[in-house]
Structure 1
């Protein structure tokens, strides 16, 4: 019987060992499953974080592309304007000379020398006007037209009953446009009534 007790004791110990090993194995499997869930959660969080960073980077890229396109368009428009109005400073500098030519040609010639001098001045004046018109300079017509503050500078207002209200009656100094830009407005007298 001692032998049977010994065998029973050994069998019981073996069963306990097996149970402990199974418990350990179950615990290990549970820990592995928990670790897999934690790893999966961490991986999902990393994926979500990386997707957010990617979306942010794409948004910044799109904004930079749009800013660059706007910059290129502004540069192109500036270059077109610079090309279109390249003669503006020259025209602005020449306008006082044209005014002086016009005043000088209004002088009455009393002798042949003065007449020939005025003819020469008229030829130079016409050459200047032709050169300026080739660049797109044109005079602003004003007498008899409606007053436009974009084209005219009113330096005098009068009341004349026989003229329509807000009409330019007299021009004191010519105004000029370069293509579609007013270089100098026309100085005018306007009817007030």
Structure 2
């Protein structure tokens, strides 16, 4: 028998237990692979979900910070606006109390020329603080925002809701009405004449009724006698 043939026999006559152990080792290794892959996959999924959770929290915090920043900016703008308005109208009460003084000066300027200079000086100071006179002329259209009607007058050539007389001057302070202009508003003469005619006719009718009643009473008295 040759050496090659003896080697082949030795290979074919190996211990079956050894072959079984090697097969078990191979199957064990193959069984561990899917188990390990499952563990790694679970860990990867857990890591991904945690990253997504952190991203969501970060987005929520970013939104909250942006809202807080916007609210703070609005608060700053509102504070600046309120401070500016306070500066503009801090003297409103004092200036309003000076308006009757201005009215008295304007009424006295026609009789005393010295009051003109005092009036102009006072108005110059008040204009620097935002006071502005509302200019209203006769036959101007009545403005509900700037005027107050105290009475109605009959005036020829004046249409309805037109100014007849300015009774008291009005003023603005930094664009806002401090005191409305007091005016009298005209009524059309045609309407007034119609009202007067209707009134006269009613009086005549009543007089005729009274005369008729007196005549009937006198007739009854004569018949009774």
TM-score by length of 2: 0.65
**Counterpart pick for 2:26 among 22, 30, 41:** 22
1:67 & 1:86 partners in 2: Cα distance?
A: 27
DSSP-derived class of the 1:29 partner:
helix
DSSP 3-state at the match of 1:189: strand
Q: Equivalent of 2:48, from 39, 44, 47?
A: 44
Measure the CA separation in 2 of the matches of 1:159 and 1:36: 101
Per-residue CA deviation, residues 58-102 of structure 1 (Å, 9 max, x unaligned), is: 222222222222222222222332333343222122223333444
- Determine whether 1:129 maps to 2:133: no
Going from structure 1 to structure 2, the CA distance change for 1:36 and 1:121 (only over 3 Å counts) comes to same
1:183 pairs, out of 156, 166, 178, with 178
Say whether the 8 Å CA contact 2:148–2:180 is kept in structure 1: yes
RMSD (CA atoms): 2.8
Q: 1:66 to 1:159 in 2, by over 3 A?
A: farther
Distance 1:31 1:160, change over 3 A: farther
User: 1:93 corresponds to which residue?
Assistant: 97
Equivalent residue for 1:111?
none
Tell me by how many angstroms 1:30 deviates.
Answer: 1.3
* Deviation, structure 1 residue 42: 1.1
Alpha-carbon distance change, 21 to 191 in structure 1, aligned in 2, over 3 angstroms: farther
Distance 2:17 2:159 in 1: 126
Residues of 1 paired with 2:187 and 2:50: CA distance?
77
- Give the alignment partner of residue 34 of structure 1, picking from 6, 31, 38: 38
SS at match of 1:65: helix
* Alpha-carbon shift at residue 181 of structure 1 (Å): 1.5
Judge conservation of contact 2:155–2:164 (CA < 8 Å) in 1: no
Distance in 1 between the 2:58 and 2:186 partners? 68
User: Are 2:87 and 1:83 aligned?
Assistant: yes
More relative contact order, 1 or 2 (CA 8 Å, 6+ apart) = 1
Contact 2:158 2:187 in 1 (8 A): no
Is 1:139–2:133 an aligned residue pair?
yes
List gaps (5 residues or longer) in structure 2: 1-12, 189-225
Could you tell me the TM-score, scaled by structure 1's length? Answer: 0.74
How many residues of Structure 1 are paired with residues of Structure 2 in the alignment?
Answer: 175
Flag the 1:90–1:18 CA change in 2: closer, same or farther, 3 A.
Answer: farther
